[in-house]
Structure 1
Amino acid sequence: MASAFIILVLVVVLALVFDYINGFHDTANAVATVVSTNVLPGRTAVLLAAVCNFVGAFIGVGVAKTIGGDIADPKSITQLVVAAALLGAIVWNLLTWYYGIPSSSSHALIGGLVGAVWCYRVLHDEAPLDALWGLLTSKGVLLTLKALVISPLCGLLGGFLLMVLLLWVVRRARPATVSRNFRVLQLVSAGFMAFAHGSNDAQKSMGIITLALVAYAASLGQTADLVVPGWVIVSCATAMALGTASGGWRIMKTMGHRIIKLRPINGFAAETAASLVILGATWLKAPVSTTHVISSSIMGVGASKRVSAVRWGVAQNMLIAWVLTIPISAAVSALTYLVLHWLLG
């Protein structure tokens, strides 16, 4: 019992560490455009994002329940599985942050969970292909894979259409007037984007911690419903806000400067389109990558000028990272579970 409780504490700490890393890894999602257009200095923008992230984390727990209950049966896995999933996601997040690649923390976590659960099932005498197929056809993974494809497309299309609409609205206005007005509006859109980010991303760690709590109860021969406790919500909201406040400057350079050259009206269009897509996904209980959505929205905004306005070489590198995120984090988590299983038996 004591060892199970210690593992539970370690898993909770790991989940909050992941949430913190998620915060500074994804700071650029909310503030890269507002910083690159010189609407706000970097530190002020980061603090604004941290506050809005914190508030956004309290609007629901639907995504948390998808993560915690719809990928694998919480009662059929252990805390070691959860720990391995988190370690795989953390390794990938730190690697992509180091190289300044805007990859998805969300899909790193999904990949980590799939890899760890798959390894657990194989070690418990389930056929490898059967275990993999069972995971890939689970409600949570299917929803995540659909969101993986659809949400960036929505971001791309939304950014393009909104930018075209805005250009039509301001077509007779003086450029200086447009820039001045959208500098103010971009403050609103940046806060909106940070709020949307918190509404979706903070819930993922909530789901993981709740999954660990259910696994802990099962190890004691007890049953527990997949209910997200209040202290878990507050802890995850705080960890993400603190991570956001620390700032992810490496990725911010990629998001704010290397995809397209942004003006305040461009930043407003990209942030607003991305926020609406993310909040829609949160309402549908779908864990999406806020990184994918805002990156695609920026590309859509750039493409509204002309296709060559987007630096497609940078976009190609990002796409490769997006494709590799789930399988690599899954592989790392599977290996991690093997090691933990061997050490702790």
Structure 2
Amino acid sequence: MAWNIGANDVANSMGTAVGARAITPRQAAVIAGLMNFTGAYFFGKGVTETIRKGILNTGMIHNPWVIVYGSVAALLAATTWLIFATYNGLPVSTTHSIIGGIVGYGLAYAGTSIVDWGKLAQVVLSWILSPIFGAIVAYFVFKALRGSILTRSDPVRSARIWSPFWIGLAFVVIGTMFYIKVMHGDSLLYGVIFYGIPVGIVIFILSYILIRLHFEPADPYLGVESIFRKVQVVTSAYVALAHGSNDVANAVGPIAAVYAIATMGMAGIKVPVPRWILALGGVGIAVGIFMYGYKVMETVGRRITELTNTRGFSIDFSAATVILMASWLGLPISTTHTVVGAVVGVGLARGVKAINKDILKDIVISWFVTVPVAAIISGIIFKVLMFAG
């Protein structure tokens, strides 16, 4: 499962940087591998969620082996679906895959009454909300960035004035997200005041000085893109760090639950995750990135719409903003869907013809079948395991 998270979800952090040619696929694999492992091992969530996001009513489960077999079934089902999606270069949500697996074994065990359908409806809602919010924010961010720099009569002068502002603003979001998503803080205001704004001010000053000293391009437009190329590497690396710290739970949460129940019984449903399990998840993610991450990177970075560094920066900035606000508001959101939506939004800023509608149709279909397909596979595996056990 961790291998598949690396192979598929790495596109969330590195696909746009590769598509905009800020870094090569090999460089992306190295950066994302290191950052995902760091995020998973040092900042991975400290408590397992046996029933992911409260999808199942644990009060109806009295036999600990149901959770053991169910967790294994959910992992195998999600992994099977993700292998298929990654092979076909389709960016799908690993969170939705594991939720589908959990719903599947719950239905196979106790029928429809064990599933919290309200929670599941929130997951379905995220299929719709995530790409729409991502697309809207990215559309306006890129329009504003292009209007303030690229379409001005003197792009070089405009870049000197506006680039530090956009870069600083992006790092306000990144600093705040570090507190919320990586350090798992719960106060947006605290995160903005003590993390976001200080980081944003420092980066604004540094970028202002560096651009003033070193920005004398022969071609003003290539010069502007070169500024955002460097920034995009940093923003992508941050997304990879946050990704590892959060999504490693999709792989190791069920394993930690099995380990806890095997050692402590039902009392182990919520326990600290051993470091070696977080490390296992981090290694799995890194290996998946190295071995197969290029497939989905290619789809997100190059097959939906053509990306430049300013477009890639707009996507990273917008996706980070949407994810941060959704986390604060408690809205269901998918990182994968948000990033793909942001890619589409930037494409739409250049006109509908800039979007590859065929690949977009395939991606959307894959999103809607993720939960039911994973649920069916999980239910079958669970029944086999219970029968064999």
TM-score, normalization: structure 2? 0.74
Residue 109 of structure 2 aligns to which amino acid in structure 1? Y
Match of 2:359 in 1: 314
1:244 aligns with 2:244: no
The residue that corresponds to 2:143 in the other structure is 164
The Cα offsets for residues 215-269 of structure 1, whole Å up to 9 and x where unpaired, read as 4357x4x523512324233332332233223342222221121100111111111
Question: Quick one: structure 1 residues 198 and 262, their matched pair in 2 at CA, closer, same or farther if it must change by over 3 Å?
Answer: same
Paired residue for 1:256, among 297, 301, 312? 301
- Structure-2 change in CA distance of 1:142 and 1:312 (3 Å): same
Quote the residue 2:92 is aligned against. Answer: 103
Name 1:91's counterpart in structure 2.
80
Amino acid in the other structure paired with 1:293: T
Shift of 1:27: 2.2
The alignment status of 1:196 with 2:180, answered yes or no, reads no
Instruction: Give the secondary-structure state (helix, strand or coil) at the position aligned to 2:349.
Output: helix
Q: Distance in 2 between matches of 1:78 and 1:227?
A: 15
Give the secondary structure class of the aligned counterpart of 1:223: helix
Q: Deviations over 1:100-133 (max 9, x none)?
A: 2222222111101100111011xxxxxx3434xx
Q: What letter is aligned with 1:228?
A: P
C-alpha distance 63-257 of structure 1, shift in aligned 2 (>3 A)? farther
Query: Structure 1 residues 215 and 117, CA, compared in 2 at 3 Å: closer, same or farther?
Result: farther
How far is 1:270 from its partner? 0.9
User: Once the 2 structures are TM-superposed, how far is the Cα of residue 56 of structure 1 from its aligned partner?
Assistant: 3.0
Could you tell me how far 1:93 is from its partner in structure 2?
0.5
Q: Quote how far apart the aligned CAs of 1:341 are.
A: 1.9
Q: Show structure 1 runs of 5+ residues with no match.
A: 1-17, 122-127
Distance (whole Å) between structure 1 residues aligned to residue 146 and residue 319 of structure 2: 18
Picking from 87, 105, 123, the partner of 1:144 is 123
| Matched residue, 2:45 | 61
Residue 188 of structure 1 aligns with an amino acid whose one-letter code is: V
Gaps of 5+ in 2: 156-219
Q: Alignment partner for residue 175 of structure 1, among 215, 218, 221?
A: 221
Distance 1:331 1:145 in 2: 17
Is contact 1:53–1:196 with CA below 8 Å preserved after alignment? yes
Q: Partners of 1:230 and 1:287 in 2: how far apart?
A: 28
Distance 1:212 1:300, change over 3 A: same
Cross-structure match for 1:15: none
Give the distance between the partners of 1:192 and 1:205, measured in 2 at CA.
Answer: 20
What residue is the counterpart of 2:106 in the other structure?
117
- SS for the counterpart of 2:305 is coil
Root-mean-square deviation (CA, aligned residues, Å) is: 2.5
Aligned pairs (5 A) from 1:288-307: 288-307=333-352
Of the two, which has the highest radius of gyration?
2
Distance between the aligned counterparts of 2:78 and 2:371, measured in 1?
9
> For 1:230 and 1:67, how far apart are their aligned partners in 2?
18
Q: Are 2:90 and 2:363, in contact at CA under 8 Å, matched by a contact in 1?
A: yes
Q: 2:270 corresponds to which residue?
A: 226
Aligned to 2:198: none
For 2:223 and 2:321, the matched residues in 1 are separated by 26
What is the aligned length?
Answer: 315
CA distance in 2, matches of 1:110, 1:197: 17
The farther-off stretch of 25-34 and 82-91 is 25-34
1:278-289 aligned within 5 A: 278-281=323-326, 288-289=333-334
- 1:26 is matched with 9
Partner of 1:78: helix, strand, or coil? Answer: helix
How many percent identity over aligned positions? Answer: 30
Deviations 1:247-302 (A, max 9, x none): 42222221121100111111111122223333455567777432212111100111
Deviation at 1:182? 1.4
Matched AA of 1:104:
S
Q: Report if the CA contact (8 A) 2:3-2:289 is conserved.
A: yes
